[in-house]
A and B are shown apart, each in its own frame.
Chain A
Amino acid sequence: MTYDSDIVIVGGGLNGPALALALASGGMRVTVIDARAAPARAKPGFDGRAYALSIASKRLLTAIGVWARVGAQSQPMLKIVATDGRVGQGPAPLRLRFDHDEIEEGPMGFMLEDRHLYAGFLDAMAEEPRITLIAGQTVVSQEITGQAARVTLASGATVSARVLVGCDGRASGVAARAGIKRQGHAYGQTALVCAVSHERAHGGIAHQFFTPGGPFAILPLAGGHHSSVVWSEPEGPAQQIAALEDADFLTVLRPRFGAFLGEIALVGARFSYPLSLTLAERFAGPRLALVGDAAHGVHPIAGQGLNLGLRDVGALAQVMVDAARRGEDIGAADVLERYQTWRRPEAMALALGMDGVNALFSNDNPILRAGRDLGLGIVGAMPGLRRAFLRQAAGLTGEVPRLLAGRML
């Protein structure tokens, strides 16, 4: 039996290239199929889309040779300030501060713009002879047999491999074609995403306000005078806000943002994403695995979507590379089951936990409000608890894949 590649990955967004690079670093041959043509993804201009990368994610990106290309363009997050707030009233008296001095790993995380991260992946893949990127091609069918997985592209070409991995997002075609059902629900909330420039320097501080409409985050971007804003509101109001002209949008944004960074202006593009939680009933099957949003889409309340996806990447790459070095068939059901056993409970717990956090904070009930002010105060007053919270958010707890601990496969 010969294969075109050891692994075929459907999806060229972020998790797909990350997995390809991780597997290639472990000696595997990988084909990545991206429905979009490469130039359509690699837009050089500033558009405001950015990721809050955890320390663990940064370690993985370092291990797979991407961080060296993009690290200089990142903004370290030195401090995260979480506050309960109501529009027009400013922050509540009790606030929760997370300071990087409290964990030994350095900054709390890094903000990195999508344009830099994607370009870094593209360059790294181009330099890796074990990776073949097929861009601008959709998959029309897939077939799993006892010995191989095979996908057929719109062009009629086929790619065979030992394992097929779906990194194709929450509407995963790989999962749908494999008959893997998903459960989930819509939050009835929409995230509004934009970037602003501001008069005063942000000093590397990220802010998260829990407002009755939903969480509102200000995340510092490189340069000191730009920040990314991720803001959720109930669906109806969000659609109205999204439809506003820039000037009117800014009028709505200003009181929520506050005046602590001086005068603000919109830069780049504005985006809106309806929020929903989805969880695939299985993350793996014979010769098949799902990664990132294809397996689980979580509420992006704490910016954990990409971080969670990169944890999948680290776990799946490790499971397959370890299996290959033992001489096991990397596509065997029991091998890929190890990935599911490792990742699904954590994704599920996080999805449920996030759900709880969001329900607790997106609420104007005075009792809940008093309770959460108190809760924030208590967590804030106890360094041990705060550190535990921090390390969890930084991806430093649980069984950490080797790549996310900064080690090679």
Chain B
Amino acid sequence: MSVTSTIDPAEVAKFEAMAAEWWNPNGKFKPLHMLNPCRLDYITRQIAAEFDRDLATSEPFKGLRLLDIGCGGGLLSEPMARLGAEVVGADAAPRNIPVAAVHAQQAGLTIDYRFTTAEDLASANEVFDVVLNMEVVEHVSDPLSYLTACQQLLKPGGLMICSTLNRNAKSFGMAIIGAEWVMRWLPKGTHDWKKFITPDELYDLIRRAGLDPVDRKGMVFNPVKWSWSLSSRDLSCNYVTASVKR
């Protein structure tokens, strides 16, 4: 049974309003919308390189099963479905699921949204070609056991994309003071700086979880262009990694 068919019709209007909020580029989730093209550039190029797909063709990710952990309103799940992937969107916040499902239906996309966690999916022996693990690891209590669950969710040869925030004075200034206190892009308390992870710590955790890190890039905000771009050198704040299950 699809998620949308289990929604109480009286609730649909509410979910539609919440979906509109998730997808409003100038609304509450503006920082995510601004970061999204940069994240998608990284994700699509890594998947294309790992699975030898041509992004210039239509539905290049056809045949790939992809899990989006912490899918929220579906800002990554929808693009992946549009590129042809078979997408499961998982979120631990139950109210996000019908919201994302309503929006996907409006967009004419088929996405399997579930109220579940990586650990539960791993226990159920679900497997994927790609696991998107974006801006989640800094919120979990035990990163190693979480990343181990992600590893179990991958088929051999599968790819995990994992992004998070570096832990240093600059990231404290940018992510906590800048984004939460000054710009109010994020509610205060969204991030606990002490849980941020340095790139070397993340590579170490990924290896201990049984994956081989293959690439890492910084995601850098340019205040002049007011947009994000990928950087090979600057991993001082937001960064993203790719790792493979051998």
Residues of B at the A interface (CB closer than 8 Å) are: 25, 33, 36-37, 40-41, 44, 55-58, 78-83, 106-108
Contacts and interface: CB of A to CB of B under 8 A. Distances in A.
A192 B91 CA distance: 66
A332 interface: yes
Contact of B106 (A147, A328, A334): A147
A329 B78 CA distance: 9
B58 A326 contact: no
Contact of A327 (B57, B82, B106): B82
A333 interface: yes
Interface string A300-329: 000000000000000000000001011111
Given A1-B107, A27-B57, A146-B106, A327 B44 contact: yes
Interface in A16-33: 26-27
Contact of A27 (B56, B79, B80, B81): B56
Given A146-B106, A328-B40, A334-B33, 4 more contacts: A326-B37, A326-B44, A327-B40, A328-B79
B80 A327 contact: yes
A373 interface: no
A329 B83 CA distance: 11
A337 interface: yes
A334 B81 CA distance: 19
Contacts of B56: 26-27, 325
Contacts of B44: 325-327
A209 to B, nearest CB: 40
Main secondary structure of the interface of A (DSSP, over half): loop
Contact of B79 (A1, A147, A326, A337): A326
A-B CB proximity, top 5 nearest: A327-B79, A1-B108, A334-B25, A326-B40, A327-B83
B25 A327 contact: no
Nearest to A329: B107
Given A147-B106, A147-B108, A329 B25 contact: no
Contacts of A1: 107-108
Nearest to B81: A327
Contacts of B80: 327
Contacts of B79: 326-328
A147 B55 CA distance: 23
B32 to A, nearest CB: 11
A27 B80 CA distance: 18
Nearest to A29: B58
A333 B25 CA distance: 8
Contacts of A329: 78, 82, 107
Most buried by B among A27, A326, A327, A329: A327
19 contacts: A1-B108, A27-B57, A146-B106, A147-B106, A325-B55, A326-B37, A326-B40, A326-B41, A326-B44, A327-B44, A327-B79, A327-B80, A327-B82, A327-B83, A329-B78, A329-B107, A333-B25, A334-B25, A334-B33
Contacts of B82: 327-329
Contacts of B78: 327, 329
